[in-house]
Amino acid sequence: MARPGEEAPAMAEEEGEEDALGLLIRRQRKEKRELQAKIQGMKNAVPKNDKKRRKQLSDDVAKVEAELEQKHGEELKKLKETLPKQNKEESTMIDIARLELEDTELSQPPKISKAQKRREKKAALEKEREERIAEAEIENLTGARHLESQKLVHILSRRQLAIKQIPSDGHCMYRAIEDQLKERQNSWTVATLRSQTAEYVRSHMDDFLPFLTNPNTGDLYSQEEFEKYCYDIANTTAWGGQLELRALSHILKTPIEVVQIDSSPIIVGEEYNRKPLILVYMRHAYGLGEHYNSVKPLTDMPTENAS
């Protein structure tokens, strides 16, 4: 039997070789995952109906995947060449076993609960919306959105007002109303505004039903469709429009003025003798449909000469 003093260096050398291989495999696995995450982000940023850009994206993805695969292969080859000859076969077996384990882990992700799946789906949808907004922001920098914003700034400045940005999350109209009410020390929340709007519309069906038609058939809403419409107002991120604004003006007993560039301001609830709430309607805000912002006094805006 060899003496302990002779065993230790050999064992240390083998452990060092295995550690180097293990570190390389772990790093390569991390790089693969990071690349997949990056690719997913790139896919989310390209509209599904843009076939030309998706074709280019597919080519780009294949290229970067091939480059990473080649890089990893060269790294493994270089590492094995640095090992002593008698350990090459052993290191190769370890290499293959770990790569097979890695492929298994990547192709068979751990099971997740339904609740987690719902959360991840919601997060993915929100991320896709944000990426679409960011993309639209870039595309519209000198386009329709930019021109619309400039015109609105000019219209509002004559009234000593400025645009107050509201998130584009489906609640924008209600959030703009909420913001206006806060300026009057009123604590209505988006959830309350939505539930009250749904209740008012439901209880005044004869006033609203003539304006609600099925987009596919053109027929007036059935009772079932009307109930779903009211349910969506209260419980989803369904976007609000002029009908909901009319309901809110009656609920709050306050006029609501909507400033836009296409025509003179629209005022609903003129029968109420109160200072109107003011919203800004933007047709080209994010490329995702109509959007409402709030307003604030122009004096709140920083000036170029401010210290």
| Known catalytic membership, residue 291 | yes
Other CB atoms within a 10 A radius of the CB of residue 144 amount to: 13
d(CA 129, CA 123): 10
Bin 221: left if φ > 0, else alpha if -120 < ψ < 50, else beta: beta
| Known catalytic membership, residue 19 | no
Bin 293: left if φ > 0, else alpha if -120 < ψ < 50, else beta: beta
Q: Which stretch of DSSP H or E encloses residue 163?
A: strand 161-164
In degrees, rounded to 5, the angle at the alpha carbon of residue 63 between the alpha carbons of residues 61 and 69 is: 100
Token pair belonging to 79: 């590492």
Q: Which of 72, 171, 284, 291 is flagged as catalytic?
A: 291
d(CA 19, CA 127): 38
Q: Which of 208, 260, 268, 201 is nearest to 233 (CA)?
A: 201
Q: Which of 171, 172, 230, 284 is flagged as catalytic?
A: 172
How far, rounded to the nearest angstrom, does the alpha carbon of residue 154 sit from its chain's CA centroid? 30
Residue 258 bridge partners (DSSP): 266, 279
The dihedral of CA 81, 87, 91, 92: what is its sign? Answer: positive
| Known catalytic membership, residue 169 | yes
Q: Which of 103, 154, 169, 204 is flagged as catalytic?
A: 169
d(CA 93, CA 63): 29
**Helix axes of 114-139 and 4-45: crossing angle, nearest 10 degrees:** 60
For 84, phi then psi, to 5°, come to -60, 150
Q: Please give the positions annotated as active site.
A: 169, 172, 291
